[in-house]
Structure 1
Amino acid sequence: MRVLVTGASGLLGREVAGLLVRQGHAVTTFQRRPSGVEGAADVLGSVTDEDAVRAAVQGAEGIIHLAAKVSFTGRAAEFSEVNVEGTRRLLRLARAAGVREAVFVSSPSVANSGAAIAGLGAEAADPEHAHGDYSRTKAEAELLALAADTPAFRVAAVRPHIVWGPGDTQLVERVLERAGRGRLPLLDAGAALIDTTYVDNAASAIVAALHRMDHVHGRAVVVSNGEPRPIGELLAGICAAGGVPAPSWAVPGAVARGAGAVVERLWTWAGRKEEPPMTRFLAEQLSTAHWFDQRETRRLLDWTPAVSLDEGLARLAEHYGGRPPGSGPRR
């Protein structure tokens, strides 16, 4: 199959594109900088550019759409232009180009209003109650994507939950950097039970959705390792792999959520580009249970995760080679 992967310069996008190449598909990647995926043809551009998107979708039979603005802060209009209008543009031009199938890579946060999640499946995306501009716009985009599903243009949504692995700058590097400086607290003593997804598992589930369109088109599925653990235990494992002390001081979750909301507004008002030390969304993620029932996902995708959390942490330790952050991974 000729497959276009958008957003392949990120951790998950690179793994998705690489897996498709290894499976023998003809892969084109589309993003603003080179993907570095061996065996894939890079097309550089943005989903905000009509002409660039039109050129990228030509000849594709399937699309996996990962390109998105992912951040805890930023101007609302920027999230909308990339996540909502970029998805709308891609779907419209893909359909016009004769693309048959598309997988929209979403997030469980599209259906999370901040309350604890314990063993639920893929609840309906809810932009009105999603917390933060990222979650809100991803929810809007997911609804657009699923509404575009037809027999001639089949669309599914896959929501991988907290993806991490070697080379991850969204979670792992932030944890190690802040823990290494003693600035990573445990919220509510790190007791919240959460699930995460090792990057190889997230990629294989997304690719499985493309192959299982008969079963998943028109619907969303949540993907995780299916191994919920206390957040404090997970953070300690990441810190051990990276060679830094685990967080040892605690802050009440309610205090962190309130402070995070204030910091988030100040960061956005000031137009600061770096990620803030805390936001309301991040505080919720660190202090609220969120794990999902994976039985329906595994049945629909005919998929199971190949890499356990413990094996993933071992691979992370191998990547860092026991060196502290800043000294670089072992070569």
Structure 2
Amino acid sequence: MRVLATGASGLLGSEVARLLIREGHTVTTLQRRPSGVEGAVDICGSVTDDEVVREAVRGVEGIIHLAAKVSFTGRAAEFDEVNVEGTRRLLRAAKEAGVRDVVFVSSPSVANSGAAIVGLGAALADPEHAHGDYSRTKAEAELLALAADAPGFRVAAVRPHIVWGPGDTQLVERVLQRAAHHRLPLLDAGAALIDTTYIDNAAWAIVAALHHLDRIHGRAVVVSNGEPRPVGELIAGICAAGGVPAPNWSVPGAVARGVGAIVERVWTWARRREEPPMTRFLAEQLSTAHWYDQRETRRLLGWTPSVTLDEGLARLAEHYGGHGPDADPAR
């Protein structure tokens, strides 16, 4: 199959592209900078550019759309332009080009209003109650994508939950850097039960979705390892793998959520580019249970995780060789 993968310069996008190539597919990637994926044909550009998008979808049979603006803060218009309008452009160009299959890579946050999630499935995306512009615009984009599902144009949404692994700068390296400098508290003693997804498992699930669109088109599924653990235990495992001390101090979750809301507004007002130390969404993720029933997902995708959390942590330790990211070891 001729497949376009957008956002292939990121951790998950590049792994998806590599997996597609290993399966024998012809892969084109579209992202702002070179993907670094051997065997892929790179198109450097943005999903906000109509001409670039039309070029990228030409001759393609399937699309896996991962490109997005991912940040805890930023101007709302930037999230709208990339996440919503970029998806709209891609869907329109794909239909015009005769593309048959589309997998939209979404996020569980599209249906998370901040309340605990305990063993649920994929609820309907809810932009009105999603917290933060990233979650709001991903929810709007998912609704757009699923509404486009039609005979001859199959569309499904896959929501990987907290993807991590070697080379991850979104979660792993932030945890390690902040823990190393004693700037990472546990919220409510790290007791909240959460699930996550090791990178290999997330990539396999997304590609499985492309192969099984006959079963899942028109709907969304949440993907995770299916191994809920207390967030404090997961953070301690990441710190041990990176060779830094785990945090041993705690802050009430309610306090962190209040502080995070203030920090978000200050960061956005000041147009600071670095990620803030705390946001309301981050505080919710660290202090509220969120794990999902995976039985329906596994049945629909014909997929089960191949790497357990403990195996993933062992791979992370091998990656760092006992040194945190600041040590800049040869990798």
Aligned counterpart, 1:267: 267
Aligned counterpart, 1:166: 166
Q: Is contact 1:88-1:141 (8 Å) kept?
A: yes
Distance 2:204 2:330 in 1: 26
Structure 2 alignment gaps of length 5 or more:
none
Distance 2:45 2:324 in 1: 36
Q: Is contact 1:243-1:325 (8 Å) kept?
A: no
Aligned pairs (5 A) from 1:194-209: 194-209=194-209
What SS does structure 2 have at the residue aligned with 1:119? strand
1:328, distance to aligned residue in structure 2 (A): 1.9
Q: TM-score, normalised by structure 1?
A: 0.99
Aligned counterpart, 2:153: 153
Distance 1:12 1:199 in 2: 7
Paired letter, 1:163: V
1:329, distance to aligned residue in structure 2 (A): 3.9
1:325, distance to aligned residue in structure 2 (A): 2.5
Aligned counterpart, 1:91: 91
- Verify: 1:185 aligned to 2:185, yes or no: yes
Paired letter, 2:234: L
What SS does structure 1 have at the residue aligned with 2:104? strand
Q: Is contact 1:146-1:155 (8 Å) kept?
A: yes
Aligned pairs (5 A) from 1:195-274: 195-274=195-274
Q: Is contact 2:177-2:324 (8 Å) kept?
A: no
1:11, distance to aligned residue in structure 2 (A): 0.1
Q: Is contact 1:321-1:330 (8 Å) kept?
A: no
Structure 1 alignment gaps of length 5 or more:
none
Aligned counterpart, 2:296: 296
Aligned counterpart, 1:132: 132
Residues 239-264 of structure 1 show CA distances to partners (whole Å, capped at 9, x for unaligned) of: 00000000100000000000000000
Q: Is contact 1:110-1:127 (8 Å) kept?
A: yes
1:326, distance to aligned residue in structure 2 (A): 1.1
Distance 1:327 1:175 in 2: 15
1:327, distance to aligned residue in structure 2 (A): 1.4
What SS does structure 1 have at the residue aligned with 2:327? coil
Identity over aligned pairs, percent: 83
1:90, distance to aligned residue in structure 2 (A): 0.2
Q: How many residues align structurally?
A: 331
Distance 1:43 1:83 in 2: 19
1:69, distance to aligned residue in structure 2 (A): 0.1
1:42, distance to aligned residue in structure 2 (A): 0.5
Distance 2:210 2:92 in 1: 19
Distance 2:102 2:324 in 1: 41
What SS does structure 2 have at the residue aligned with 1:47? coil
Q: Is contact 1:146-1:157 (8 Å) kept?
A: yes
CA RMSD of aligned residues (A): 0.5
Q: TM-score, normalised by structure 2?
A: 0.99
Distance 2:221 2:328 in 1: 36
The structure-2 alpha-carbon separation of the partners of 1:41 and 1:112, relative to structure 1 and needing over 3 Å to count, comes to same
Q: Is contact 1:163-1:199 (8 Å) kept?
A: yes
1:330, distance to aligned residue in structure 2 (A): 3.9
